[in-house]
Structure 1
């Protein structure tokens, strides 16, 4: 059985396979496709709506327990690539 996670943006619960794990590396948010990066992870639906909401409201920083606003550009670029395909 697939474990269930909660999207940090919309707060809806979904199987891990439907969500994208986001981790912090060198102050930047990165997509952790295989869920293997060390440290805390935040889960989000791989949609523009959920990503924009999470970034604009600082939900990744809260979920990852970091102060300040992490750089979301690597994650946004990665998701744009995913959504274009």
Structure 2
């Protein structure tokens, strides 16, 4: 497998299914909060989830570990999931 193919597949933090980045939403840390990175340009590590309420809610506990920030407020992601993933 070429490196390009490996880089183009991401794992959803909620359901653990592998998908292309176009089908996933990137979550990144901004300060002490986890936020949805709509433009996929925020610096640092990113976590990927399917844009479904189920995947977003399942991912909440794993986001701080995935972004390697122990004390990270995930409430913006919880609100995003409850508000219809807009």
Query: TM-score, normalising length from structure 2?
Result: 0.80
SS of the aligned residue for 2:69 comes to: coil
Q: How many angstroms apart in 1 are the aligned matches of 2:81 and 2:38?
A: 11
Q: Name stretches of at least 5 consecutive residues in structure 1 with no aligned partner.
A: none
Structure 1 residues 29-64: Cα deviation after superposition (integer angstroms, max 9, x where no partner): 110012100000000111111111111xx2111111
CA pair 79-52 structure 1, distance change in 2 beyond 3 A: closer
Confirm whether residue 45 of structure 1 aligns to residue 47 of structure 2.
no
Q: Name stretches of at least 5 consecutive residues in structure 2 with no aligned partner.
A: none
In the TM superposition, residue 82 of structure 1 has moved relative to its aligned partner by: 4.5
Q: Which of 45, 58, 66 is the matching residue for 2:69?
A: 66
**Number of residues of Structure 1 aligned to a counterpart in Structure 2:** 81
Confirm whether residue 26 of structure 1 aligns to residue 31 of structure 2.
yes
Confirm whether residue 36 of structure 1 aligns to residue 41 of structure 2.
yes
Query: TM-score, normalising length from structure 1?
Result: 0.81
CA RMSD in angstroms, aligned pairs only: 2.1
Residues 45 and 67 of structure 2 are in contact (CA less than 8 Å); yes or no, is this contact kept in structure 1?
A: yes
